[in-house]
């Protein structure tokens, strides 16, 4: 399956502008043969936008994105805030190519005061969706920095770990080094799709990438707006996990 990832500064606080950008990116991704488009963390609203994020979480953010997915025939992993009762979540919504909601993941590992001020942590370590025979695990930004989260995804059979991200300075090394390590140590594909530019108090590092189970970077961007594209092959994951059997060689009885 060909996948795409949109690295972009977006337009903080402007849902209409971000949906218009999503529409253009979905058209471009479909034109390149991609069947899935991954956006950054909280892409549709912006991440560091203060109390506005809670107000926007009450709006219908997935409906217009679902229409975009259906119009272009491409699935979308949408970063958006989600209001549920009194709780607000930092969520990734998986919309299939018909606009149907195939999965929803709420960020479990909250980063710093910015996350904790506005969001409630999710309670699901691993959330997977199966999309056209590809098993995809959903994580969000800081989640991927915990080896337990990616390992749990691999043990659940995920072949691709998709990570909408809002990674800021001075953590360039996470994007440059840790992401390749996570892919290698679990022998899975990993798509790490970040914001770029600046937003309120944050300067984003960009440095989005799609990485193979071998640790090879299949496509990447440092700064600017880019549409990353790469092919994900389940057979490559199966062979990589046979050749480098980290999962099979674990000694979990020693890890407790």
CB 92 within 8 A of CB 78: yes
Q: How many C-alpha atoms does 14 have within 13 Å on its Cβ side?
A: 11
Active site residue 88: no
Q: Is 45 within 8 Å of 14 (Cβ atoms)?
A: no
Q: How does 13-32 read in b/e, with b if 16+ C-beta sit within 10 Å?
A: bbbeebbebbbebbebbbee
Is 216 noted as a catalytic residue in this protein?
Answer: no
Query: 92: closest CA among 152, 140, 150?
Result: 140
Selected catalytic residue, list 88, 97, 107, 199: 107
**The tokens of 155 are what?**
């043990």
From 21, 41, 97, 199, active-site residue:
41
The verdict on whether 141 is a catalytic residue reads: yes
User: CA 6 to CA 139: how far, in whole Å?
Assistant: 16
The answer to whether the CB of 6 falls within 8 A of the CB of 210 is no
- Catalytic-labelled residue, pool 21, 82, 141, 145: 141
DSSP H/E element including 28: helix 15-31
Instruction: Please identify every residue annotated as catalytic.
Output: 41, 107, 141
């Amino acid at each position: 399956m060909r996948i795409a990832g949109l690295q972009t500064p977006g337009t903080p606080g402007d849902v209409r502008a971000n949906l218009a950008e999503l529409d253009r990116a979905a058209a471009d991704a479909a034109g390149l043969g991609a069947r899935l488009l991954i956006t950054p963390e909280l892409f549709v609203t912006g991440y560091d936008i203060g109390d506005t994020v809670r107000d926007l979480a009450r709006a219908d953010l997935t409906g217009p994105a679902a229409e975009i997915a259906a119009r272009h025939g491409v699935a979308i992993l949408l970063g958006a805030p989600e209001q549920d009762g009194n709780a607000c979540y930092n969520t990734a919504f998986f919309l299939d190519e018909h606009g149907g909601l195939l999965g929803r993941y709420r960020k479990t590992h909250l980063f710093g005061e910015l996350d904790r001020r506005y969001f409630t942590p999710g309670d699901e370590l691993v959330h997977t969706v199966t999309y056209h025979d590809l098993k995809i695990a959903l994580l969000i930004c800081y989640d991927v920095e915990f080896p337990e989260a990616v390992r749990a995804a691999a043990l659940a059979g995920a072949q691709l770990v998709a990570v909408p991200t809002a990674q800021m300075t001075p953590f360039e090394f996470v994007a440059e080094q840790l992401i390749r390590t996570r892919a290698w140590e679990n022998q899975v594909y990993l798509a790490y799709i970040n914001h770029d530019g600046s937003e309120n108090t944050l300067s984003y590092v960009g440095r989005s990438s799609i990485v193979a189970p071998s640790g090879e970077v299949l496509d990447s961007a440092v700064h600017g707006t880019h549409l990353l594209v790469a092919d994900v092959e389940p057979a490559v994951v199966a062979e990589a996990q046979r050749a480098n059997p980290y999962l099979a060689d674990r000694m979990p009885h020693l890890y407790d």
